[in-house]
């Protein structure tokens, strides 16, 4: 299915009048605070977030999986789905491939299809947390950290192949996430596991093309429950540092223990010039992979405030970040969920742009904690949705993507086209 520009136009026409009034009123309000609404629109206009190829089907828990119908059955259909999201929002203009879940069978055709929908190829993701049919060594007891040299070599080789596939598609980065670790005390030797991991990552790094970056993700627990080899940002930072200038830490919001101050981690990594990218999701307890902004929108705003501040005061030369949604959907229609996530990310970003950095710095220097809070809340409590709508309208996307998605009965149409029993590859 493809959304036609005529459908977008008539949707926008119907909502244009009320949108215009809301935008004008917000613009006036902001002008009193010396903020230009148009400048905010400009900043958000082409801000894109990558959609992972595994997020388009119904996710599952280890207890069950409930199909939503019309799931994309192959990579082509996944790209088609991202095309729908992008047409509606003009903010999902990239795909992040998970290999081997989504290996293009015809690279040229895949590239052409993506290009025709305005979609580029973001970071490619390797997978050494599952065994693939016919492979010589099992990853049951680890991959890059494995005690067996053969298993490590196989995992390194897989990453090199992922880079090669990415190169053919025009990706410029690889994300490595390891499930390696132990579920019981004494099961592994921490030091040996870390040293093997470091040596393996260095080998992968050596094969990295000059214009590529490597992102190293960390996670405190799951699937291993006693220890993960790359358990936290410090370990990831150390590994990135050991590899070299093209290696960075990647922060996945769900990969922290409850109440971790993620915004502070963001600030530290930018000040070290080692923040590579972001995986967005939301969580209450662990790596829950819920819709972005559904549980802790204020935390998301605080993270974006650090990002905005960090990139404006980028003394360590931190490169532009790779943004990706990393969520899986058990209850909602994944496309609706992704629409909501995209909106939440962009809202937090615009709200962070509203923070009066100058006033905040003076209040901080005065030790005026109450005023600091007032300044943050002035930004956070501003309803900036009209800014996002204005940006979408300027790019020919939908004023209200969620509403139009429902009005066009997209899921029904996908079920008609693909059937109700298709199952997407991935989680
Ligand atoms: C992991 C991690 C990775 C993602 C997999 C599917 O928990 O977040 O980024 O590739 O899940
Ligand atoms: Mn992730
Ligand atoms: Mn995760």
Helix (H, G, I), strand (E, B) or coil at 45: coil
| Residue nearest to ligand 1 atom 6, measured at CA | 427
pTM: 0.97
Which ligand is in closest contact with the Cα of 254? 3
Residue 193's Cβ-side half-sphere holds a number of Cα atoms within 13 Å equal to 19
Indicate the helix (H) or strand (E) that contains 182: strand 181-182
Alpha-helical segments (H) within 357-421: 357-366, 369-380, 385-394, 401-407, 410-418
Contact 387, 379 (CB under 8 A): no
Q: Looking at residue 60, what is its pLDDT? A: 79
Contact 40, 384 (CB under 8 A): yes
Alpha-helical segments (H) within 208-292: 233-243, 262-271
Contact 75, 101 (CB under 8 A): no
Q: Which of 98, 252, 253, 325 has most ligand 1 atoms within 8 Å of its beta carbon, as the pocket-test mutant? A: 252
CA distance 228 to 221: 6
Contact 328, 52 (CB under 8 A): no
> Would you say residue 35 has pLDDT above 80?
yes
Q: Looking at residue 329, what is its pLDDT? A: 79
305-323: pLDDT as tens digits:
999 999 999 999 999 999 9
CA distance 52 to 332: 17
Q: Looking at residue 118, what is its pLDDT? A: 98
| Residue nearest to ligand 1 atom 5, measured at CA | 177
Mean pLDDT of the chain: 97
Length of the chain: 427
Q: Which two tokens stand for residue 220?
A: 């405190």
Residue 195's Cβ-side half-sphere holds a number of Cα atoms within 13 Å equal to 7
Residues 74, 330, 401, 96, Cα dihedral to 10° = -40
Q: Which two tokens stand for residue 412?
A: 């029904």
Q: Looking at residue 139, what is its pLDDT? A: 98
Q: Looking at residue 359, what is its pLDDT? A: 98
Share of the chain above pLDDT 90, in %: 95
CA distance 406 to 387: 22
Output the CA 211–ligand 3 centroid distance in Å.
26
Ligand 1 site residues, Cβ closer than 6 angstroms: 54, 98, 125, 177, 217, 252, 279, 287, 326, 427
Other C-beta atoms closer than 10 Å to the C-beta of 381 total 10
CA distances from 158 to 30, 61, 104, 125 (A): 51, 27, 16, 11
Ligand 1: nearest atom to the Cα of 254: 8
Q: Looking at residue 168, what is its pLDDT? A: 98
> Would you say residue 427 has pLDDT above 80?
no
Output the CA 281–ligand 3 centroid distance in Å.
9
Q: Which of 61, 177, 329 has most ligand 1 atoms within 8 Å of its beta carbon, as the pocket-test mutant? A: 177
Q: Looking at residue 162, what is its pLDDT? A: 98
What's the burial of 401, exposed, middle or buried (CB within 10 Å: 0-12/13-18/19+)?
buried
**Mean pLDDT (whole number) for 103-108:** 95
Q: Looking at residue 379, what is its pLDDT? A: 98
Peptide bond into 100 cis (omega under 30): yes
> Would you say residue 425 has pLDDT above 80?
no
| Residue nearest to ligand 1 atom 3, measured at CA | 177
Ligand 1: nearest atom to the Cα of 219: 7
Backbone conformation region of residue 368, classed left if phi is above 0, alpha if psi is from -120 to 50, else beta:
beta
CA distance 167 to 146: 27
Confidence of residue 422 (pLDDT cuts 50, 70, 90): confident
Q: Looking at residue 328, what is its pLDDT? A: 85
For every residue of 88-136, DSSP letters joined together read: HHS---EEE-BTTTT--SSHHHHHHHHHHTT-EE--EE---SS--TT-S
Residue 262: closest CA among 201, 220, 324: 220
Output the CA 354–ligand 1 centroid distance in Å.
32
Q: Which two tokens stand for residue 112?
A: 């052409």
Indicate the helix (H) or strand (E) that contains 25: helix 5-32
Output the CA 177–ligand 1 centroid distance in Å.
6
CA end-to-end span of the chain: 24
Output the CA 337–ligand 2 centroid distance in Å.
17
Output the CA 413–ligand 3 centroid distance in Å.
30
Ligand 1: nearest atom to the Cα of 426: 6
For every residue of 310-354, DSSP letters joined together read: HHHT-TT-PPPPEEEE---BSSS-HHHHHHHHHHHHHHHHHHHHT
Q: Looking at residue 65, what is its pLDDT? A: 83
How is residue 228 annotated by DSSP?
E
Which ligand is in closest contact with the Cα of 222? 1
CA distance 422 to 403: 25
Contact 287, 302 (CB under 8 A): no
Residues with CB under 5 A from ligand 2 (ion): 252, 279, 326
| Residue nearest to ligand 1 atom 9, measured at CA | 177
**Nearby residues of 64 by Cβ (< 8 Å), 6 or more positions away:** none
What's the burial of 320, exposed, middle or buried (CB within 10 Å: 0-12/13-18/19+)?
exposed
Q: Are strands 173-176 and 124-125 parallel, antiparallel or unpaired?
A: parallel
Which ligand is in closest contact with the Cα of 256? 3
231-282: pLDDT as tens digits:
999 999 999 999 999 999 999 999 999 999 999 999 999 999 999 999 999 9
Q: Which of 326, 328, 424, 426 has most ligand 1 atoms within 8 Å of its beta carbon, as the pocket-test mutant? A: 326
Output the CA 278–ligand 2 centroid distance in Å.
8
Residue 71: closest CA among 394, 80, 63: 80
């Amino acid at each position: 299915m493809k959304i036609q520009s005529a459908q977008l136009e008539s949707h926008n026409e119907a909502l244009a009048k009320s949108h215009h009034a809301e935008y004008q009123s917000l613009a006036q309000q902001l002008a009193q605070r010396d903020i230009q609404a148009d400048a905010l629109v400009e900043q958000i206009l082409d801000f894109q977030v990558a959609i992972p190829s595994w997020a388009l089907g119904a996710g599952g828990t280890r207890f069950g999986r409930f199909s939503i119908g019309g799931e994309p059955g192959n990579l082509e259909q996944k790209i088609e789905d991202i095309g729908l999201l992008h047409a509606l929002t003009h903010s999902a203009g990239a795909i992040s491939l998970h290999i081997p879940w989504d290996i293009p069978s015809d690279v040229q055709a895949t590239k052409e299809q993506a290009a025709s929908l305005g979609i580029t190829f973001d970071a490619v993701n390797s997978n050494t947390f599952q065994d693939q049919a016919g492979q010589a060594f099992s990853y049951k007891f680890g991959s890059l950290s494995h005690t067996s040299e053969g298993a490590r070599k196989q995992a390194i080789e897989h990453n090199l192949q992922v880079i090669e596939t990415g190169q053919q598609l025009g990706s410029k980065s690889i994300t490595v996430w390891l499930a390696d670790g132990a579920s019981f005390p004494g099961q592994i030797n921490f030091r040996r596991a870390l040293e093997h991991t470091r040596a393996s990552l260095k080998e992968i790094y050596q094969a990295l093309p000059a214009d590529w970056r490597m992102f190293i993700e960390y996670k405190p627990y799951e699937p291993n429950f006693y220890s993960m080899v790359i358990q936290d940002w410090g370990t990831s930072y150390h590994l990135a540092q050991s590899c070299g200038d093209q290696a960075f830490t990647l922060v996945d919001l769900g990969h922290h223990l409850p109440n971790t101050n993620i915004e502070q981690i963001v600030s530290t990594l930018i000040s070290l010039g080692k923040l590579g990218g972001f995986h967005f999701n939301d969580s209450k307890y662990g790596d829950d992979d819920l819709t972005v902004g559904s549980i802790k929108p204020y935390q998301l705003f605080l993270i974006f405030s650090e990002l905005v501040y960090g990139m404006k005061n980028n003394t360590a030369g931190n490169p532009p970040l790779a943004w990706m949604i990393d969520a899986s959907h058990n209850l909602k229609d994944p496309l609706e969920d992704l629409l909501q996530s995209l909106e939440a990310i962009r809202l937090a970003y615009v709200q962070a742009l509203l923070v009066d950095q100058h006033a905040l710095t003076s209040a901080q220097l005065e030790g005026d904690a109450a005023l600091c809070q007032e300044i943050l809340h002035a930004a956070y409590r501003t309803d900036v949705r009209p800014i996002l709508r204005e940006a979408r309208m300027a790019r020919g996307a939908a004023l209200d993507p969620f509403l139009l998605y429902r009005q066009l009965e997209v899921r029904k149409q996908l079920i008609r086209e693909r059937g109700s029993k298709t199952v997407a590859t991935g989680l």
